[in-house]
Amino acid sequence: MGNGFSTQDIPNLDGKTYLVTGANTGIGYQTALYLAKNKGKVILACRSAEKANAAINAIRTELKTLGAEHNAQLDFIELDLGSLKQVAQAARAVVAKGEKIDVLVNNAGIMMCPYRLTQDGLESQFGTNHMGHFVFTMLVLPVIPKKTGRIVNLSSLAHFYPYSFGLGTLEQVFVDPAAPKPAEGQKHPSEACYTPTASYGQSKLCNVLFTKYLAAKQPHLRVYAVHPGYVNTELQRNIKDAYGGIVGVAANAVSSIVAKRPVDGARTTLAAATSLLLDQDPPMAPSGSYFVPYGKVTEASAFAKDTALQQRLWEMSVEIVRKTLGEETVKEIERNVAQTE
């Protein structure tokens, strides 16, 4: 697999269920398409039924073009990563169905947008790219099978380039409505330190920190982080708003020339989600590994390997859950962790 996992290397996935966030476009769509092509059941987690159904219809059409003869099993759940309350509802709905999720692919995300807050008061890139997936993952843990279950977190090479301090403090990522407001004319710390690029790098660092922490604490699960490469997708849609029209146009022009196609961007995700080499004893790569194109395992950044930083992110994430969703949700997460150990 280190020489390049391709879509031809995906095994027969009949009988397995995959949940892919942000599956209606880009890498997520291609991931869902090729999982379905190889007979996996795919649950598309998207912000709206309209987007999900359009993707499902497109996948069915494309599968016919690719020569697939089976009836693809495709389902949908609504998932808005910008609202932790809705994320928790979606996760609990998945668990209530009682269907196992063999592989969870945390693919959705935003990139380099202007400073803004989620519904919960979180800096939007940290809130969407990390906290939304943190809550969803921790609440669906009961339906991810022990020993065989996998979690794939989409990170980026950008995790090497966060803020100089690596991971910010709680008040640098969260505007607590219960806290005193800044003095007139002053910015909240989350806005004062904000730059679109470093914030994106921080959120992608969180994806690897979370991967490595969860892998260490949950030895019966296999958890991987993935850098898909520089891919031409809608993820770059916010660059114009953050840096201006000229930069946005230039970025789109460069992307159209040098960036990978979404299908190639999905290859590393598909390797981490499906490769039989990861089922070997011992596996080709241990849980907690960081994959780069196309299925090659390499070293993550020094920040990402810092166990103290992994622990601090976990504690900060739990505290955010406590402040936004309440103590009962924190206890639910603690129970889920204990049940899968």
Residues with a catalytic annotation lie at 200
Give the separation between CA 157 and CA 7, rounded to whole angstroms.
22
Give the separation between CA 338 and CA 18, rounded to whole angstroms.
23
Best CA proximity match to 171, nearest among 159, 179, 160: 179
Q: Three-class SS string for 60-85?
A: HHHHHHCCCCCCCCEEEEECCCCCHH
Best CA proximity match to 261, nearest among 227, 232, 234, 295: 232
| 297 and 285 Cβ atoms separated by less than 8 Å | yes
Query: Residue 159: how many CB atoms within 10 A of its CB?
Result: 24
The one-letter amino acid at 133: H
Task: Tell the burial category of 241 from Cβ atoms under 10 Å away from its Cβ (0-12, 13-18, 19+).
Answer: middle
Beta bridge partners of 21: 45
Alpha-carbon 12 to chain mean position: 24
For strands 290-292 and 296-298, give the pairing.
antiparallel
> What are the C-alpha distances in Å from 165 to residues 55, 160, 169, 252, 331?
40, 12, 10, 30, 30
- Return the beta strands (E) in the chain as ranges: 17-21, 41-46, 74-78, 103-106, 150-154, 222-226, 290-292, 296-298
